[in-house]
Amino acid sequence: MDAREIAALAERIAEGRRALKPMDIIAETVNLSEADAYKVQFAVHDLYAAAGDRFAGWKIALTLPTQYEPLKLSGPVFAGVYQSGLRQSGAVFEKGWPLKPGIEPELVARISTDAPAGGSPHTAESIRTHVGALHCGMELVDNRYLDVTRMGGPARIADNVLQAALVVGTEIEDWQKLDFANLKGRSTLDGKELASGSGSAVMGGAMISLAWLANALNKHGRHLKAGDLVLTGSVHPPAFLPGPGVAKTEFEGLGSTEITIK
């Protein structure tokens, strides 16, 4: 894609989100490459920033081969988080947005120092020095499409991989001592379990996925910055909500995050 085509698709996606109606971008993205998809995603970020919606951080998604291979992607993916999508546990979402909400239990890393490219790649150990705090959290995703099953992996990258909101929950004390691979997380609606999974689903653990993100951003000429909030990946695929109610994600023994969907 040339610069004009990238800008046009970015504007189409931004307009579709602002309309708060199910959108169809299948025709525009059918031949989209993974590399061009990120260029479109970054162009959408720029449009939001120009409109006053500041960039707030990142999300990591599709962390397992069983998730990214069917979408014909080379590996896990990342997307942005906007200031307008930041919430604290207890937040209420009124009817109308998200259109078709789903929830995921994720650890949220608060970045304390920049993580630019260096002489060697970031690792699960080295990335810890850039983390100021770790929270239990929730990603609220939005199936905002007429038919998401027909959308390929690059199309999902271009439109921020269903990202709607990042919800910050309980801060975790002594997080450096966690056995990330064996953490147990689950999602519920009005107390009924919808899905569950373990921390190993996140590339083997949250610090591994965070290091992967730092390196992936470096390859794209970007880097984690002090103040960024990062959704480090979900322990299970999105649990789409069958209706309104109190939605909750929790990590066993660590804490929880809760929202109300009207």
Using alpha carbons, select from 194, 203, 181, 179 the residue that is nearest to residue 250: 194
Residues 164-211 have pLDDT tens digits of: 999 999 999 999 999 999 999 999 999 999 999 999 999 999 999 999
Beta bridge mates, 187: 195, 249
Residue 190: both structure tokens together: 């009005």
Residue 149: both structure tokens together: 């099953």
Which structural domain, as residue segments, surrounds residue 189?
Answer: 3-261
Count of domains observed in the chain: 1
Beta bridge mates, 229: 57, 110
The separation between CA 156 and the C-alpha centre of its own chain, rounded to angstroms, equals: 11
**Model pLDDT, residue 64:** 97
pLDDT of 125 over the 90 cut? yes
pLDDT of 119 over the 90 cut? no
In contact, 210 and 127? CB cutoff 8 Å: yes
Residues 12-55 have pLDDT tens digits of: 999 999 999 999 999 999 999 999 999 999 999 999 999 999 99
**Model pLDDT, residue 118:** 87
How, if at all, do strands 163-171 and 131-142 pair? antiparallel
pLDDT band at 103 (very low <50, low <70, confident <90, very high): very high
Residues 213-248 have pLDDT tens digits of: 999 999 999 999 999 999 999 999 999 999 999 999
Angstrom distance (rounded) from CA 221 to CA 131: 21
Q: Is the four-CA dihedral 8, 75, 56, 243 of positive or negative sign?
A: positive
pLDDT of 129 over the 90 cut? yes
pLDDT band at 157 (very low <50, low <70, confident <90, very high): very high
Instruction: Give the domain CATH number at 167.
Output: 3.90.850.10
Q: What is the average per-residue pLDDT within 94-122?
A: 96
**Model pLDDT, residue 234:** 98
DSSP state of 85: G
Tell me what percent of the residues of the chain surpass a pLDDT of 90: 99
Residues 46-94 have pLDDT tens digits of: 999 999 999 999 999 999 999 999 999 999 999 999 999 999 999 999 9
Mean residue pLDDT of the chain comes to 97
Using alpha carbons, select from 185, 74, 95 the residue that is nearest to residue 135: 185
